[in-house]
Amino acid sequence: MQLQQLLQDILRISEIIPIMTYESAIQYFVTDHPSDSITKKGAIIRQIHPQGHHLVQVFLNAQNQLILRPDGKLYGRQLVARELDKELSDTFGDQDLIIVE
């Protein structure tokens, strides 16, 4: 299944936040991870958006495969941030993907 198809099943972009911090991105992985024991990592994907940065946060297993809910939908969220704080921006560098272990 294509990532674009999976993204349609997670929360739609419901709001645009003023700034996404590194701390709040990591906090999401800590507090909202699936309750199973196969979740080992998180990933943040960044894309340019007319109002800032489109960010997708998903959970991965040890083989870097996406974690799906029992109904086949993707665990994760997507949102738009007008800005990234310095720490998150520096972590991305010139890449559009961060893997957090």
The pTM of the full predicted model, rounded to 2 decimals, is 0.86
Residues 8, 10: Cα–Cα separation, whole Å: 6
Contacts of 97 (CB under 8 A, 6+ apart): 43, 44, 45, 46
Q: Are strands 41-49 and 97-100 parallel, antiparallel or unpaired?
A: antiparallel
State how far the alpha carbon of 5 is from the alpha carbons of 1, 9, 10, in Å.
Answer: 7, 7, 10
Contacts of 63 (CB under 8 A, 6+ apart): none
pLDDT one digit per residue (tens) for the chain, 101 residues: 456 666 665 656 667 999 999 999 999 999 998 887 789 999 999 999 999 999 999 999 999 999 988 888 888 998 999 999 999 999 999 999 999 99
